[in-house]
Structure 1
């Protein structure tokens, strides 16, 4: 029930007593005071939607916390909107969203919107590595900044020290910083990306190849490895990676369930391979007799475990992907190979030797799990060419065995 419209006064409002049912007292121009049975009094603005003509109401607030004068002021602002064909409720919601957008910080946006979107595009391991880099180098500088407050000049100034000390890391941070800001534009939080040209502010270090040695130096390397005090399982890991020509992370992730001993094959699942998440690819490794021998030795250590090469501290997990590299660069003859060879660089030894032997380059690239836009080269990864790849891998295994014998 709405009582007759009249111009309200504070004195009249204070004398308005609660009844068994709530009732409204009009103040004119769509402003009403709702008196509830419990004695509370609420200001309501009841109006007709300018387009749909539906009846709507807005709760302005409770009296006396919202005074009569304040309620009338709010009513007048609503009428101003209505004369312009704007619904006050929708305008309020849009204003709130705009305020939220203006207050959005870089870290909160990256955490709640960019990261979930990125997780659908790249592999978890890749995202974890990149996000850890942002937490370490970007968020301490700009994480608390509102997106709207980030400027190109300040980004350059704050990232310059990192570009001087760790240029490669800075380049990666800049790429993702710009990507986050670009996604903010797409989400409607920014009118444009102020960091569009940020990468041009820093010089780029030319890409360098992983340090490696020549195939002729392999006998010496294997001899130094054999005579070192490195753990037996780590020595076997290094030889496993050398023989299979895989990357360090792929080598340590090998599981017994992936090994087909009858057919001498190792099937590496797509999620373990380097590459984009939307283009997963399995990699089949033909195992030479020397690689199979490594597995038989490892069965004595980890035959009852999930992984072929397990972590000493956490037997249910594979060992660290840096284990082989650390052993090569630090533990062999007190760092003899530091700057000369890395675990990843062992792939180049195999590539150089097989190319020198005259094998098809595309076949070698397939054994290295290199994928290109060349359909002919990529075809070598398929089972049709497994016989050719098996021959190549055995040739390499025989050479490694020869080097080991004469080292």
Structure 2
């Protein structure tokens, strides 16, 4: 026994109903399921109100196979939608945005999920498909006011208003081809722009309330305009043009990458010079004197040089990172805009990335050599000048400077 009537219960009743005037209809009790549903409706007043069904003479003596007279009105909106014909169905703005999940149309017994789609229902679903394309190409969809808004210099509205005659004349095949054309991801934005311009040009001269009907009847022309416009767009895109752009970009990136070395070339060449200077200028100085201070100055200069070299190399490393990121963006743009030929140019960008890796390796070697040279210079410094001599020299300098400092302070 049915406890609470749902849409599937009503749908079974509607499919076995002969519709009459003023909502008076004859329901064929085709099975026990329908008999039990009607019994719940007849027994429970609340269910009668929810479903909009009244059985004036009750179900006494009515068995499976009999007909029963009933007044069938509209059920509550939360259950589903029951309308007399397609014109009544198409007066609702919501049905242009998406197909209702639960509806039944008395005129040709069309309903949701009907496997035996009627001609009107097939046309309606084709119109929905067309409208989804239009929404993608439009500036905005104003669902509250039931219109699709296009804009190209001036605003052009496409009201969501159609009659049953409109869905009967739908060119389902052309709508399918238009869908297939726009499903391809290549140049999809350009195709939608071409579609938008074609729709605006086609419907602008037409009266506002007649635009959708005219658009539905003109799908084949829309398809021709989109294909023609796209061919014009493609003709402006050539393989040689892309190849030249990639070659120019590659040359530019090579120059930028090469510049990361030329900018520090002077410092790189200074590495062997600095090593020779340190090796030749360090002098043995067992006693505190000018030679010790000269050695300290040479060693300090070597370390300052190495620190500055490391800072320059780190700066060039960051520059290579920025160039690598820019190359990555170029690769993504090429794959997005020209995916069909992007693989033919991928090797150029791969070579650039390899070049960047080699430059990073070179910078790492330079930093290593610089630090190693400074460490060797420090070892050489302590070899020619024992640490005790340096400490004694510094101590004597402090002792000699102390009386002079105190004398200067006492004069104030």
| Superposition TM-score, scaled by structure 2 size | 0.25
Larger radius of gyration: 2
Higher helix proportion: 2
Higher RCO, 1 or 2 (CA under 8 Å, sep at least 6)?
1
